Structure 1
Amino acid sequence: MSIDSPPGFRSSHARVFGRRPSDGVVVWIGVDCLTDAISEVDETAVVLIGPSTGRSIRADCGSAQTDQVWQGGRMIDGPAALEAVVRHAVELEGDYTDIEPTITALAACGDTTLVSRLNEALDRFLDEENFYGRDLIAGILAGIQGAAALPTLLRASARDLGDDQDSLSAEIIDLLYADKAASRLTAIEFAADEAPALRRAGVWALGFVAEAQDADLLATAATDNDPEIRSIAIGSIMNPAADDRGFHVLVLGLRVPDPQVRVSAVRRLGYTGRTKAVMRLVALAAD
C-alpha cells in the first residue's frame, strides 16, 4: 500500500498497517511525529486518513498499540497475531474459520517489519513438511509484499511436500498477474537456475506471463534434461497453432520416451487444429 504520510509525520518514521474493515480508513502508527505541525500528538498517536476525503483526524492511543493492526474493527498485535497463526498451523488448534480473520488482517496490514518473521515461519514449515502452515504464511507474505514476495513463494513451491500445491499455486498466479513485467523477469531468472527444482518453478511461472521474445527460452526448456521441465515448457509454448517453430517443438516432444512429456505434447498438438497435427497424432497412435 503506497500512501503519503499524514500531516505531522516524517515519512521515514510513519508506518502504515492497513485499512480498517468497518469504514476503509487507512491506519497509521506514528513513530516520530512533528509536534510543531500537529500539537498534542505524541509518538504513540494514530492518525486516520479518510478513504475519500484524505483529511486527517487525530486519535490518541496508548503506547501498547505500537506494532498493531486492525482486525474486525479493533486493534491486534502484529507479532502476537503471527504467533497465533503459527501455533494454529503447528498444533492444528481450532478450525481455519477461527484463525481466518487474523490471517486476513495480517495479509492486509502492510507491515513489512513482519517479513523476516514470516520468512522464518515459512522456512520452519518447509523443513517440517507442513504444507498447511506453508500456505498460510505464503498468503500473508503475498498480501504484505505483493509481487516482491514472488521469489520467496517460487522457492517454496520448489520444495516438494507431497501435496498438490493448489493454494500456493493460486497465490503465485495472483502475484504473476499483479505485475506481469516484474514477474516475468523473476520467472526468467528462476528458469535459468542450475537447480532443476528452481528451473521447474521458473518455467511454470513464465508460462503465465511469457512474451513473444521468450519463445527461445521455452524452446530450450523443452529440451531440458529434467522431463518435468520439458513437459511444463511444452505446455507453455505460445501459439503453436500459428507459430511454426512452436509447432515443431511440440512435434519433437512426441518423440521423447518419457510419457509425461509425450502426453503434454499430444494435448497441445490436439488444440492447434492444424492438419499436420492430426497426421502426427495418427502416426503416434499407430506407433
Structure 2
Amino acid sequence: MSDTAAQLDALAAELADPDCDFDRIEALESELLTARDTDLIPRLQEHLAGAVQAGNGYGRHVLSHILAATAGSRALPELLRAFARDLGDDQDSLTATVTVLARQDRAHARSIILRWATGPDPDPDPDLRRTALWLLGYVPEPDDLDLLADAARDPDDRVRSVTVGTIGSHTKTSARAVDLLKALLADPSPRVRVSALSTLGFARRPGTLPAIHRLAEDDSTDVRAWVAIALSRFPAAEPATLAVLDVLAHDPDTYVREKAVAAREKLAA
C-alpha cells in the first residue's frame, strides 16, 4: 500500500470516529490535497460513498474536497451522487465545487446531466435526477427548453420545483422561458408556485407583474408571502404593485404582513 493510500485510509477512519482528532484530519487532508495522487481516485470514491451511506456530512465535505482537487471534472458523477443526498448540512462548499467543475467542462457535465435527468432512460434515483436538473441551470443551452417544459409537467412536485429555477437561467434570452414560468404560477403545488415567484422576482420582467399580483389571493400563506418578496425585487414600484402590497400588509398571517411591509418600504426607498 502506498503512503498516500495509507493516509487516505487513516483519514477515512478519523472521519468515521465520533471522537475524531480534528487536527489530525486537517493535517491528513492537507497532505492529500498536496499530493493529488490520481491513483487514489477509486479509493476516494469508495470512501466518499461510504461516508454518504453513513450519513456523515463532515466526511462528505472533506472527501469531496480531496476528490475534486485530485480528479477535477472527472469526479463529477461521484460528486453529484454525494451531493444528491440530504444529510442535513448546508453543502455550500460542495455546491460551489460542482458548479465550478461543471462550468469548467461544460460538455462533460452536460453529458452526465442529460443522461440522468431527461435522457431516454432517466436515472431512477429521484434525488439524483433532481440534482441533475438543478445543475443544468449552470450550463444551459437554448435547446434545453423542450426538455425543461417536459420536466415542468412531471408528477413529482419536487422535480417541477427544481426545474423552475433551471428555466430561470433562460429568462434573459428567451421569451418562452418567461411564459413557462408564468404558467407555473398556476401549478397545483404551493412549492412550485413559490419557486416560480422567486425566479420571476429575480427575472424582473414588468410583463409578469399582473400574473404575480393575482397570487396575492392565493390560499397558501407561503405563496402570498413570496408575492411580496418577488415584488420587492423589481426596480420600480408601479401603482398596481403598491396596491397589492397594501392588501398583503393587512393579511391575516403575520409572516405575510411582515414581508409585505418590508417590500413596501424597500420599494418606497
**Contact 1:103–1:136 (CA<8 Å) still a contact in 2?**
yes
**2:56 pairs with 112, 125, 130, which one?**
130
Q: Deviations over 1:58-114 (max 9, x none)?
A: xxxxxxxx93xxxxxxxxx2012112211221124222x543242133134232221
**In 1, distance between residues paired with 2:102 and 2:172?**
25
1:189 is displaced (CA, Å) by 1.5
Q: Deviations over 1:157-186 (max 9, x none)?
A: 222223232232222122112212211221
Indicate the structure with greater helix content: 2
Kindly indicate whether residue 85 of structure 2 is the aligned counterpart of residue 147 of structure 1: no
Listed as ranges, the gaps of 5+ residues in structure 2 are 219-269
Structure-1 residue corresponding to 2:98 = 172
Q: Does 1:209 align with 2:139?
A: yes
Conserved in 1, the CA contact under 8 Å of 2:15 and 2:25?
no
Report the AA paired with residue 78 of structure 1: T
Residue 31 of structure 2: aligned partner: 105
Distance 1:284 1:143 in 2: 46
Query: Counterparts of 1:77-92 in structure 2 under 5 Å?
Result: 77-91=3-17, 92=19
Q: Secondary structure at the match of 1:209?
A: coil
Contact 1:125 1:133 survives alignment (8 Å)? yes
Relative to 1, partners in 2 of residues 1:168 and 1:82: Cα closer, same or farther, differing over 3 Å? same
Question: What fraction of aligned residue pairs are identical, expressed as a percent?
Answer: 40
- What is the distance in 1 between the residues matched to 2:103 and 2:30? 21
TM-score by length of 2: 0.72
Give the deviation of 1:275 after TM superposition. Answer: 3.0
4+ residue stretches of structure 1 with deviation over 3 A? none
* 2:46 alignment counterpart: 120
**Cα offset, 1:242, TM superposition:** 4.9
- Displacement of 1:191 in angstroms is 1.1
Match of 2:177 in 1: 246
Name 1:264's counterpart in structure 2.
195
How many residues get paired? 212
Contact 2:142 2:170 in 1 (8 A): no
Q: State the TM-score, normalizing by the size of structure 1.
A: 0.68
User: Match of 1:279?
Assistant: 210
Matched position secondary structure for 2:195: helix
Give the superposed CA RMSD.
Answer: 2.0
In 2, are the aligned partners of 1:230 and 1:261 still within 8 Å (CA)? Answer: yes
Q: Structure 1 residues 90 and 216, CA, compared in 2 at 3 Å: closer, same or farther?
A: same
Residue 247 of structure 1 aligns with an amino acid whose one-letter code is V
Structure with a larger share of its residues in strand: 1
Which sits farther off after the overlay, 131-140 or 107-116? 107-116
State the AA in 1 paired with 2:181. Answer: L
In 2, Cα distance between equivalents of 1:241 and 1:216: 17
In 2 relative to 1, CA 136–256 (structure 1 residues): closer, same or farther, beyond 3 Å? Answer: same
Which ranges in structure 1 are unaligned for 5 or more consecutive residues?
A: 1-65, 68-76
1:235 and 1:171 mapped to 2: Cα distance?
A: 19
